[in-house]
Amino acid sequence: MRFDNLTLGYNRHPAVHHLHGEVTAGSRLAIVGPNGAGKSTLLKAIAGELRPLQGRLERHGVQRHQIAYLTQQATLDSSFPILVHDFVAMGLWHKIGAFSGLDQALRQRILQALDRVGLSGLQKRPLGSLSGGQLQRALFARVMLQDAPLVLLDEPYGAIDGASVHDLAAVVRHWHAEGRTVIAVLHDLEHVRQEYPEALLLARELVARGETTSVLSESNLLRARQLAGGGDKEVAAPICHIDEVGT
Amino acid sequence: MSDALSALPLFSPFVEFAFMRRALAGCLALSLGATPVGVFLMLRRMSLAGDAMSHAILPGAAIGYLVAGLSLPAMTIGGLLAGLAVAVLSGGVARHTVIREDTSLATFYLLSLSAGVLIISLRGSSVDLLHVLFGSVLALDDAALLLLAGFASLSIVALAIGLRLFVLEGCDPAFLARISRLGPLAHYGFLVLLVLNLVAGFHALGTLMAVGIMILPAAAARLWVCNIGPLLLMASGLAIAGSITGLLLSYHINLPAGPAIVLTLGALYLLSLAIGPLAPLASRWRSGWHFER
């Protein structure tokens, strides 16, 4: 994947400026940075759900439908009357579509996915009865069944307990071992240092990119905080003023 | 056999009178066709939108009435067109202006209701107005019954084919948009199904009551089960039970049939609210029960 002078934003207000770089297939990359740094915006663009304001984003060999994208749980109605099994099975859409049934092999895969995220035995429970951590595990199981070469995770451990983080991190390592590319937006720097060999530090523009230990140095983090400034997105507009005049 | 049945107060009205059998058949069609659509209406948090849309049908049906009198095809086509137009218009206003969706629906509902009543008063009597507002479930003719049965069949087949789509669209629409291009089909297909069933309900129960047989059984069933398949079946079952009970009450105590049916469904809902395992009252009183929501 290549970013070439990539500028992203909403309603012509840029949130990420002039990003250059590459992500090689099979890497495990953490995107970190202060609030409002444009991390989720970048992930959304990688998923193909946001057109660049400027520059290019090329995903070689990965179509949009081959991306598993786990957003923060904004759109999911967890009170919907559906069983955990059926909810997770939706990850098999690329196999069964809207109309086909589940054969024995696919049912087995669903049970395996539930087992791997630590939800075995809960498949007959309604989705609404799951705790926050269990719901996140179910979402990971759904991602697993999507069988996608590129996995995007947006703050996947936002409000869940340590045990769930531990189990789900093992799932991410497994995806990496299978050769999938995993890009995750994360807040917990200690977790990033332990689990992600590569990192991208963002503060509306690229601060550092490369090996995690060097990216997350004190000086880089300090610079990111300074660039993020007051944390107000409006601040981004004047920074890009010259570019806008230029285009 | 029929003599034995006609001696029972539960069966005699249906054995003796054709109009009661027709009313029963009409209600069965609505329970099987419209109620499952009502379940999805509830799950998509569109119950009030459904109510507004049922009023939106009125001016179309009224124009059909103005042109051709109490003619089934004219009022059906008028109702369908008006319902679909308002569905698209109110959605468009909510998306493209500062007016929020609830206000947008309310404005169209008020406009539609007043325009519909005005158009009917231009030509008809107050009896006609009552017919349009509260339906005439005890006066369903062959054509009306065929229409109700036809719309119900169409609705059941469409829901069966698109069930997975409708479920995912209700549960996680953003995920559906990501993995499939069928999201808009599910959304607009559902609106078409909704308008079809509201028009069917309009002929039997009138514009003010049509949503009753969609939402009340759905809401009652939601207090008992927490899986979509059983929920659809139970809602239809409750709608059938409520319709039969309402028709019998209207016959034996001489009540207007439409309101009697909707009130019976309402009573089932209140009962579910009191004793349904997923209702807050039951879970508080019966601490021994351990139901999951």
The CATH number that applies at residue B151 is 1.10.3470.10
Provide DSSP, B132-158: HHH--GGG--HHHHHHHHHHHHHHHHH
Chain A partners of B231 at a C-beta cutoff of 8 Å?
Answer: 81
- What are the tokens at B140? 């369903």
- Quick: pLDDT tens for A219-236: 999 998 888 765 444 444
Chain B partners of A82 at a C-beta cutoff of 8 Å?
Answer: 167, 171, 227-228
DSSP A53: S
Chain A partners of B222 at a C-beta cutoff of 8 Å?
Answer: 81
Over residues A190-207, mean pLDDT? 92
Kindly give the parts of chain B with pLDDT less than 50.
Answer: 289, 292-293
Interhelix angle B18-43/B212-222, rounded to 10 degrees, is 60
Confidence class of residue A74 from pLDDT cuts 50, 70 and 90? low
99-128 in chain A: CB under 8 A from chain B: 99, 125-128
- Checking if the pLDDT of A240 tops 50, the result is no
User: What integer pLDDT is reported at residue B89 of this predicted model?
Assistant: 84
Q: Tell me the shortest Cα–Cα distance from A50 to chain B, in angstroms.
A: 13
Count Cβ–Cβ pairs < 8 Å, chain A vs chain B.
69
Query: What torsion, rounded to 10 degrees, do the Cα atoms A26, A32, A38, A41 define?
Result: 30
User: What integer pLDDT is reported at residue B2 of this predicted model?
Assistant: 58
Over residues A30-43, mean pLDDT? 90
Chain A partners of B162 at a C-beta cutoff of 8 Å?
Answer: 98
- What are the tokens at A193? 């240092």
User: What integer pLDDT is reported at residue B194 of this predicted model?
Assistant: 93
- Contact between A98 and B162 using a beta-carbon 8 Å cutoff: yes
User: What integer pLDDT is reported at residue B288 of this predicted model?
Assistant: 52
Q: Show the domain range for B165.
A: 2-285
DSSP A217: -
- Contact between A129 and B171 using a beta-carbon 8 Å cutoff: no
Q: Which helix (H) or strand (E) holds B284?
A: helix B280-285
B292, part of any domain:
no
Q: Considering CB atoms only, which of A83, A86, A93 is closest to B179?
A: A93
- Calpha distance A37→A226 (Å, rounded): 11
- Quick: pLDDT tens for A146-171: 999 999 999 999 878 889 999 999 99
User: What integer pLDDT is reported at residue B280 of this predicted model?
Assistant: 77
Q: Which residues of B touch A (CB under 8 A)?
A: 43, 161-162, 164-165, 167-168, 170-175, 178-180, 182, 222, 225-228, 231, 292-293
- Contact between B170 and A80 using a beta-carbon 8 Å cutoff: yes
Q: Tell me the shortest Cα–Cα distance from B117 to chain A, in angstroms.
A: 38
User: What integer pLDDT is reported at residue B92 of this predicted model?
Assistant: 79
- Checking if the pLDDT of A242 tops 80, the result is no
Q: Which of B165, B179, B181 should be substituted to probe chain A, the one whose Cβ sees the most A Cβ atoms within 10 Å?
A: B179
**Phi-psi sector, A121: left (phi>0), alpha (psi -120 to 50), beta:** left
User: What integer pLDDT is reported at residue A245 of this predicted model?
Assistant: 38
With vertex at residue B14, the alpha carbon angle to CA B70 and CA B239, rounded to the nearest 5 degrees, is: 75
Q: Tell me the shortest Cα–Cα distance from B94 to chain A, in angstroms.
A: 19
Chain B partners of A65 at a C-beta cutoff of 8 Å?
Answer: 178-179
- Decide if A140 touches B, using CB distance below 8 A: no
B290, part of any domain:
no
Task: Name residue B68's amino acid.
Answer: A
What residue of A is the nearest CA neighbor of B179? A65
User: What integer pLDDT is reported at residue B237 of this predicted model?
Assistant: 98
End-to-end Cα distance, chain A: 25
Task: Specify the residue for token string 């719901």.
Answer: A135
40-79 in chain A: CB under 8 A from chain B: 47, 49, 65, 67, 69, 71, 74-77, 79
User: What integer pLDDT is reported at residue A243 of this predicted model?
Assistant: 42
Number of folded domains in chain B? 1
B208, part of any domain:
yes
Provide DSSP, B16-78: H-HHHHHHHHHHHHHHHHHHHHHHHHHHTT-HHHHHHHHHHHHHHHHHHHHHHSS-HHHHHHH
User: What integer pLDDT is reported at residue A232 of this predicted model?
Assistant: 46
Of residues A226, A224, A237, the one with CA closest to residue A31:
A224
What residue of A is the nearest CA neighbor of B292? A129
What residue of B is the nearest CA neighbor of A100? B164
User: What integer pLDDT is reported at residue A153 of this predicted model?
Assistant: 95
**Strands A54-58 and A2-10, bridge-based pairing:** antiparallel
A238, with CB counted inside 10 A (0-12, 13-18, 19+), is exposed
- Quick: pLDDT tens for A127-144: 999 998 999 999 999 999
B124, part of any domain:
yes
B203, part of any domain:
yes
DSSP A218: H
- Contact between B175 and A126 using a beta-carbon 8 Å cutoff: no
Q: Tell me the shortest Cα–Cα distance from A79 to chain B, in angstroms.
A: 8
B291, part of any domain:
no
Over residues A65-89, mean pLDDT? 89
User: What integer pLDDT is reported at residue A246 of this predicted model?
Assistant: 37
- Calpha distance A164→A187 (Å, rounded): 16
- Contact between B178 and A128 using a beta-carbon 8 Å cutoff: no
- Checking if the pLDDT of A195 tops 50, the result is yes
- Contact between A75 and B174 using a beta-carbon 8 Å cutoff: yes
What residue of A is the nearest CA neighbor of B43? A80
- Checking if the pLDDT of A3 tops 90, the result is no
End-to-end Cα distance, chain B: 46
B53, part of any domain:
yes
- Calpha distance B61→A46 (Å, rounded): 49
- Calpha distance A124→B223 (Å, rounded): 18
Strand order in the sheet with A2-10: A13-22, A2-10, A54-58
User: What integer pLDDT is reported at residue B6 of this predicted model?
Assistant: 67
User: What integer pLDDT is reported at residue B225 of this predicted model?
Assistant: 94
B293, part of any domain:
no
- Checking if the pLDDT of A113 tops 80, the result is yes
- Contact between A83 and B164 using a beta-carbon 8 Å cutoff: no
With vertex at residue B218, the alpha carbon angle to CA B212 and CA B220, rounded to the nearest 5 degrees, is: 95
Q: Give φ, ψ of B245 to 5 degrees.
A: -60, -45
Q: Considering CB atoms only, which of A67, A71, A77 is closest to B171?
A: A77
- Quick: pLDDT tens for B252-272: 999 999 999 999 999 999 999
